[in-house]
Amino acid sequence: MTAGPYAIGATITDNNDVWQTEDGKYNTVYTLSWIFPATNQIYVGDTVQAVKLTTGNNVYASPYTWTIDPSYAGSNSGKPGTTEVQAVITKGGASFGRATIPVTVIPRPILSIEEVVSINQE
């Protein structure tokens, strides 16, 4: 699947059961669901420019353009854990709104450890 909106349908095949909605009784109902792009992990202190969105692959490309908003104030990579970015979604020049996407923040690897030895002189 590629990133984008999908209509998800569910059908009850037993005619004795139905879904009751405010619009009536139905054997099949649909809901709109978004599949968000996958993101890479970023390091503590990285900016939103380090975030890469994967919206599909070379076989199944998303028809939507997902652009990270660098001015979104909700991103904070100051500590390990999870932060978020906000993407603007467009298709053919039409706006489909914005989506807030979680991003994993990991600590930077330690390149070396120096041991300090104290010699007690009496």
DSSP code per residue over 13-70: --TT--EEETTEEESEEEEEEEEPPEE--EETT--GGG--EE---SSS--SSEEEE-T
Q: What is the pTM of this model?
A: 0.70
Instruction: Considering only residues 45 and 16, tell me which one the structure prediction assigns the higher pLDDT.
Output: 45
Q: Is the pLDDT of residue 64 over 80?
A: yes
pLDDT digits (tens, 9 = 90+) for 86-122: 999 999 989 999 999 999 999 988 766 666 666 776 6
Mean pLDDT, the chain, rounded, equals 88
Q: What confidence score (pLDDT) does residue 47 get?
A: 93
Q: What confidence score (pLDDT) does residue 117 get?
A: 64
